[in-house]
Amino acid sequence: NAANPAAYGGSKIAAAQRAAYPDIQPLLLAEPIAKAYARALAAAQHSGWQIVAADQPGGRIEATATTLWFGFKDDVVIRIAPSPGGSRIDLRSVSRVGKSDVGTNANRIRSYLAALRSE
C-alpha cells in the first residue's frame, strides 16, 4: 500500500495548494470532450507515464510516473469534463512516499499542461 494515498485530501488541501501554486489551473479547451480526452491521453502517453487506467466515458486517466534519479513512483490522475464552450482538463500528481517532493509533482503538472497547450 502507498504511504501517501492517491485519493484527494479535500478542501483544506485544495486551499493550501491554491495558495502555494496559484499558476496551476485547470485547462479549458474549446473542443468537444472526445477530442480533449484523446489529446489528454496522447499527452500522458508521450510523457512516458505508465497508463494504469483509461476510462473515456468516465473522463478519467490514471497513470504512474517514475522519477528519473531514484525511480520513485508517483500517481497521476487526469480528469476530462464538459465545460461551457468545450472541455475542462485538470490533474493531480502525488508521490507515493515521503512528505516533500521538492516540487516534482507541481513541475510534472506544469509540463503536462504546457504540452497540452502547445498541441
Domains present along the chain, CATH in parentheses: 11-118 (3.30.530.50)
Q: Mean pLDDT, to the nearest integer, of 12-19? A: 77
Tell me the C-alpha distance between 75 and 52, whole Å: 10
Tell me the chain's radius of gyration from C-alpha atoms.
14
CB 59 within 8 A of CB 37: yes
Tell me the C-alpha distance between 66 and 22, whole Å: 25
- Which candidate, 96, 20, 87, places its Cα nearest to that of 65? 96
Confidence of residue 97 (pLDDT cuts 50, 70, 90): confident
| Structure letter (DSSP) for residue 64 | E
Confidence of residue 57 (pLDDT cuts 50, 70, 90): very high
User: According to the model, what pLDDT value does residue 1 have?
Assistant: 47
Handedness of CA 6, 10, 13, 16 (dihedral sign): positive
Burial of residue 87, with CB atoms counted within 10 A of its CB: 0-12 exposed, 13-18 middle, 19 or more buried: buried
Predicted confidence (pLDDT) at residue 20 exceeds the cutoff of 80: no
User: According to the model, what pLDDT value does residue 17 have?
Assistant: 74
Is the whole-model pTM more than 0.75?
yes
Confidence of residue 3 (pLDDT cuts 50, 70, 90): low
Q: pLDDT exceeding 70 applies to what percent of the chain?
A: 87
